[in-house]
Amino acid sequence: MTTNAELAARFEEFADLLEADGVEYKPRAYRRAAENVRAYPSPIADRVDAGDREAVESIEGVGDAIASKIVEYVETGSVEELEELRAELPIDMADITRIEGVGPKTAGKLYRELGIETLDDLEAAAEVGEVQEVKGFGPKTEQNILDNLEFARTVGQRQLLGEARPLADDVLAFLESIDAVERCAVAGSIRRWRATIGDVDALVATDVREDVIDQFVAWESVDDEIESGPEKASVRVGEIRVDLRVVVPEEFGSALQYFTGSKDHNVSLRNYAIDRGMKLNEYGAFDVDEIDDPDSGQRVGERVAGETEESMYDALGLPWIPPELRENRGEIAAAENGELPELITREDIRGDFHTHTEWSDGNTTIAAMVEAAAELGYDYFGIADHAEGPGIVGGMGLSDAEILEQIEEIRAVGDEAEIEVFAGIEANVDADGEIDLSDEVIDALDVIVASTHSALDQDAETATERLVHAVENPAIDIVGHPSGRLLNQRSGLDYDVTAVGRAAAEHGTALEVNSDPRRLDLWGSAVQAALEAGAKIAIDTDSHQPATLEYMRWGVHTARRGWAEPIDVINTWDLTELREFLH
């Protein structure tokens, strides 16, 4: 069914194209209509289906003409006039208008004068000096376009947690160094450790707001100031946008709660509060049960919490909820019932099973990897280089004979090491869910990680059967990066996690949380579904060098997003328990 958001997006596109076409006034009317359509409290398509034209026309900013277009879109899936405009102006509007100073009107001009449709076209034209020849442009504008191209290309993408979080840590360190800052924290998706990040949100408590804002925008790492005002500022650092909000200390907790989100968590929490005679917002928690303001008729209430985040949850009779859980996947009910999980922490991790060496595509020796693992304080560590097979570049993966040879070296290193070293392999789950290793190799190995590297475009039913088949294989201990997704690049297999999780539970196979920030696969909701189905997980780094053993950080927080407790994660277990699982 057509959603209001979809209708609104069509009218915004309409407005952009009309503007590009040089039409006046109409674009504004269409944008206003889009806004009201988006905010309309029930599906407009339902009104259309019910033949209630009057209701459609009664939406603010929607007159007879726009109502007709709404009906046309709901009934046919397109609007003829919009299709004509699209054909007339085939511009990649979203991309091109991401360049600072280039709006739809300018984009239209560039198309008419120079035939520019895409960012690539624009770059080519600017590089040979054609843009500065267009009336209203000049050398300065042209240079500005060239300077902004790279940013415009990447900003459409969400940033990886592994890139944004280190920046967030730098932001925090900088804010802490400012004298006037009493407290600071990151908020938003980065505090919830989402796999991808739209922007970095930071929050400061201070009594001298403008001071802090001034110092923040002057931070040496800042590449661009996007905007700044008395209570907030936005800057760009590299490709990442950082939003800072500055509040008084009494409101730090309520603002932190509000700006951490997720939006869905906040909506549910606010409703939970309303049911209990409370009101929540970024300024505090208010008891509105008793008090009515006789003048306005509005309930104002007494402020009962807000200085700390704990106080906000406490005001509702709830324990504090870890940010990773705030996705509205049952955390409020769990908090109410005293059933919040005791989430796993980095300190619970005793080893890593999926790591590579120069025997396949890693960059160092078995001994060097084992030494780095020992330095992390691990009790055990597994080498799992690539076996040859589907999806693995020819010559890079190990044959059965080479695997047997490598096992000997792993044993030799293990004899010298302070920690237990497992001889493992990363086998390839083929399109049918089979792996290709001889019985001799299977018997000689301690751990078999089997991963998806090929046929990642299967339909969900086939992919589910494939993964179920893999977890049923008694030789396989861990299914590595089950979907095969690469963030911002490919979505990977779509499959029924619950079905695979059930089979994994039954057959004693673990599902991997691959901690490589380009993968994070399983991800939060998938971990949660797998655990609910009874499966165990393994958090691995898939390291190809010692430094990335630190990727464990991303995997642990991803597992926390899936409600994982230490007992759910096999690499928190001691050697005896683990050996039994690996049999």
Enumerate residues 129-188 that contact ligand DGT by CB under 6 A.
188
Q: Does 117 bind Zn ion (CB under 5 A)?
A: no
Distances (CA, A) of 221 to 89, 167, 170, 217: 39, 10, 9, 9
Q: How far is the CB of 168 from ligand DGT (least distance, A)?
A: 11
The binder of Ca ion chosen from 13, 19, 199, 371 (CB under 5 A): 199
Pick 189 or 428: Cβ nearer ligand DGT: 189
Q: How far is the CB of 231 from ligand DGT (least distance, A)?
A: 14
- Closest to 66 (Cα-Cα) out of 5, 12, 3: 12
Q: How far is the CB of 300 from Ca ion (least distance, A)?
A: 29
DSSP assigned state of 158: P
Q: How far is the CB of 506 from ligand DGT (least distance, A)?
A: 37
DSSP assigned state of 479: E
Q: How far is the CB of 481 from ligand DGT (least distance, A)?
A: 22
Pick 71 or 164: Cβ nearer Ca ion: 164
Token readout for 431 is 């399109």
CA distance 124 to 130: 9
**CB contact at 8 A, 539 and 551:** no
Q: What is the CA radius of gyration of the chain?
A: 28
Q: Does 68 bind ligand DGT (CB under 6 A)?
A: no
Token readout for 78 is 């397109």
Query: What strands lie across the sheet with 240-247, from one edge to the other?
Result: 183-187, 200-205, 240-247, 232-237, 224-228
Q: Does 189 bind ligand DGT (CB under 6 A)?
A: yes
Q: Does 327 bind Zn ion (CB under 5 A)?
A: no
For residue 233, the cross-strand partners are: 228, 244
Amino acid letter for position 42: S
- Site of tokens 């493992």: 424
**CB contact at 8 A, 335 and 321:** yes
Pick 170 or 211: Cβ nearer ligand DGT: 170
Name the one range near Zn ion by CB under 5 A: 112-120, 141-149, 172-180, 420-428.
Answer: 420-428
The binder of ligand DGT chosen from 2, 206, 234, 266 (CB under 6 A): 266
Name the one range near Zn ion by CB under 5 A: 283-291, 397-405, 426-434, 554-562.
Answer: 426-434
Q: Is the peptide bond before 262 cis (omega within 30 degrees of 0)?
A: yes
410 Cβ contact partners less than 8 Å away, ≥ 6 residues apart? 366, 383, 421, 422, 423
Q: How far is the CB of 262 from Ca ion (least distance, A)?
A: 10
Q: Does 388 bind Ca ion (CB under 5 A)?
A: no
Q: How far is the CB of 535 from ligand DGT (least distance, A)?
A: 28
Output the residue with the shortest Cβ distance to ligand DGT: 261
CA distance 311 to 154: 39
Half-sphere exposure of 55 (CA within 13 A, CB side): 14
The binder of Ca ion chosen from 108, 162, 188, 362 (CB under 5 A): 188
Q: Is the peptide bond before 325 cis (omega within 30 degrees of 0)?
A: no
Q: Does 43 bind ligand DGT (CB under 6 A)?
A: no
Name the one range near Ca ion by CB under 5 A: 184-192, 268-276, 360-368, 535-543.
Answer: 184-192
Q: How far is the CB of 483 from ligand DGT (least distance, A)?
A: 20
Enumerate residues 532-561 that contact Zn ion by CB under 5 A.
542
Using CB distances below 5 to 8 A depending on partner kind, what does residue 426 bind out of Zn ion, ligand DGT, Ca ion, none?
Zn ion
Name the one range near Ca ion by CB under 5 A: 130-138, 242-250, 304-312, 369-377.
Answer: 242-250
Pick 305 or 435: Cβ nearer ligand DGT: 305
Largest CA distance in the chain: 86
**CB contact at 8 A, 260 and 194:** no
Using CB distances below 5 to 8 A depending on partner kind, what does residue 542 bind out of ligand DGT, Zn ion, Ca ion, none?
Zn ion
Q: How far is the CB of 306 from Zn ion (least distance, A)?
A: 47
Distances (CA, A) of 359 to 253, 351, 386, 452, 551: 51, 21, 8, 20, 21
The binder of ligand DGT chosen from 197, 212, 325, 387 (CB under 6 A): 197
CA distance 536 to 478: 9
Q: Report the interface residues with Ca ion, using CB under 5 A.
A: 188-189, 198-199, 201, 243
Q: Report the interface residues with ligand DGT, using CB under 6 A.
A: 188-189, 194, 197-199, 201, 258-259, 261-263, 266-267
